[in-house]
Amino acid sequence: MASRQLLFFPFLLSLVVGCPGRPPVDPPPTDLGVVGGRVFKGAVKEAAVTVYRLDGLKRGAVAGTAATDADGAFRVPVGTSTGPFLVVAAGGNYVDEATGVTVQAGTAELTALVPVFEIETKLEQLRITPVSHLAATLALFWAEAEQRPLVDTDTEAWTRLNKHFGALDWRAVTPRDATASMGATLADDATKAGVLLGALSMQARLVSEAAGLTPGGRVNPSTVVSALADDLTADGFFDGVGTRGQLVLPLGGQVKPMAPTATAVDGQTARTALGQALARFIASDRNSTAVTVADVTSLVQALATNNDARLFRVASVEVDLDAPVLTWVRPQANAGVRGVIDVEISGADNRELRSLAFTAPATLVATTPVIAPDKTTGRLTATLDVSSLMDGPLELAVKAIDAAGNETTSKRTVIVSQRGPIITVASPAAMATVRGAVAIAASAAPQSAGAVITKLELRSPTTGVAQDTESSAPP
């Protein structure tokens, strides 16, 4: 037994001594697995991107972090981490399409769910958008509430939301900036995605204006998306009920008939209201594409009338795209006016005429309209004293707005003419002695800029004066 131990010992010793000379084992490369892509609501720059590994359905260990560049691009090495991942883009800033204001996202987040991620995967084209955020929220809710695999709920969430938001694949398309895309059309999915994000911005702008707030401030696209996500988090439906009850924008505002300071989030916010905002964005000067309101009519109504029972609890409502009609009663266009004149115009809408008002001149702005009991017609009647105004063109302007926010503006120009025309008699000369046939010739010229001579006639002619053979006004 002793000899065996002595023979075995040197062998063990050689192993122990030999270990320090072996090369060290290198750690796995940090970019073995990569999650990269873009954050877009407008390009979101300087956002903090964090890749969380899900622990069950909750955020667990951090697999990696990065920041977005000026184009919203990011690249996060995740080493040997495997999914499922929730990729979270927090904060940052972007230019709001509907206002041109730079929005600071603050604590607002946009997310994207990656339900499967194997070791050594390089996911370089992940799109983090408002739609990806809603899809991740909905998939996580269904997975917990219905005890279904996350892969299945993710697929269903994307299928339903892709269909709702323009019938395009938001996982594969990079939205085009609709404020800087001259000539772009809806034939391109990137443009369609861009104008839909523009609609979201316009929706925030309209809510701000209704509450008397500066657009791009307390209510901006980020706060609208956060409210919609909270809506889904609570019960899996777009119904306006969030995790703390009824949702309103802005938070803390009041929804009331007179002078509201907030708009309620409800079952139409992601449908009819968004469709209306799309039409308004396309009609605005912020839209640089070649897309017109006529081009998006079917898209607007598809948004508004989606009755997917997995997304909405209440019936849909079509978007009203028909603007009010304005008809001038008096004065006539380009009429010469002086002293006190009557001004009258009527308005009509196929659903509801919400507002009818003069916008110029200033003395008419306070005029109160008479709206019919059924609210489909209205009339503005006023008198206007022009006696103190300078001679020349005067513009009258009226704006009508219907319940859907469609606007119509109409202008009419009249000519203030406090002084009459100058008449010049060319023949016969003053105090001339005449006999036989004598030509009588005269002309008239206005003294007021823009005025037109409409009639020149010989008053109380003596016996024997022939018929006038010349036009009484210039051609």
Q: How many residues does the chain have?
A: 475
* Whole-angstrom distance, CA of residue 444 vs CA of residue 442: 7
pLDDT at 10: 39
Q: How many other C-beta atoms lie within 10 A of the C-beta of residue 370?
A: 11
pLDDT at 327: 96
395, 413 in Cβ contact below 8 A? Answer: yes
Residue type, 81: S
- Tokens 């269904």 locate to 142
pLDDT at 360: 94
What is the enclosing helix (H) or strand (E) of 408? strand 407-416
Residues forming CATH 2.60.40.650 domain(s) in the chain: 325-416
3-class SS at 131?
helix
For 300-318, the DSSP string reads HHHHHT---TTT-SS----
What is the enclosing helix (H) or strand (E) of 472? none
Q: Which of 294, 297, 351, 346 is nearest to 325 (CA)?
A: 346
pLDDT at 118: 95
3-class SS at 195?
helix
pLDDT at 13: 36
pLDDT at 213: 93
Q: Which of 109, 100, 89, 96 is nearest to 220 (CA)?
A: 96
Strand partners, 411: 397
3-class SS at 157?
helix
CA dihedral 465, 467, 472, 475 (to 10 degrees): -140
* Whole-angstrom distance, CA of residue 303 vs CA of residue 319: 9
pLDDT at 453: 74
Q: Domain 325-416: which topology?
A: Immunoglobulin-like (2.60.40)
pLDDT at 437: 78
pLDDT at 24: 61
Find the helix packing angle between 293-304 and 272-283, rounded to 10°: 170
Handedness of CA 210, 212, 213, 218 (dihedral sign): negative
pLDDT at 9: 37
Tell me, what DSSP letter sits at residue 102? E
For the chain, which ranges sit under pLDDT 70? Answer: 1-31, 420, 448-451, 460, 464, 466-475
* Whole-angstrom distance, CA of residue 197 vs CA of residue 42: 8
Strand spans (E) along 290-391: 325-330, 336-337, 340-348, 353-360, 370-371, 377-385
For 16-80, the DSSP string reads HHHGGGSPPPPPPPTTSSEEEEEEBTTB-BS-EEEEEEEETTEEEEEEEEEE--TTSEEEEE-TT
Q: In this structure, what token pair is assigned to residue 257?
A: 């008939």
pLDDT at 11: 37
* Whole-angstrom distance, CA of residue 287 vs CA of residue 42: 13
CA angle 12, 17, 19 (to 5 degrees): 100
- Tokens 């200033």 locate to 362
Q: Which of 279, 308, 277, 304 is nearest to 292 (CA)?
A: 279
Strand partners, 93: 45, 104
pLDDT in tens, 64-84: 999 999 999 999 999 999 999
270, 276 in Cβ contact below 8 A? Answer: no
pLDDT at 27: 59
22 phi and psi angles, rounded to 5 deg: -80, 145
Q: In this structure, what token pair is assigned to residue 10?
A: 């040197």
* Whole-angstrom distance, CA of residue 39 vs CA of residue 55: 24
Q: In this structure, what token pair is assigned to residue 309?
A: 């029972």
What is the enclosing helix (H) or strand (E) of 95? strand 93-95
pLDDT at 470: 63
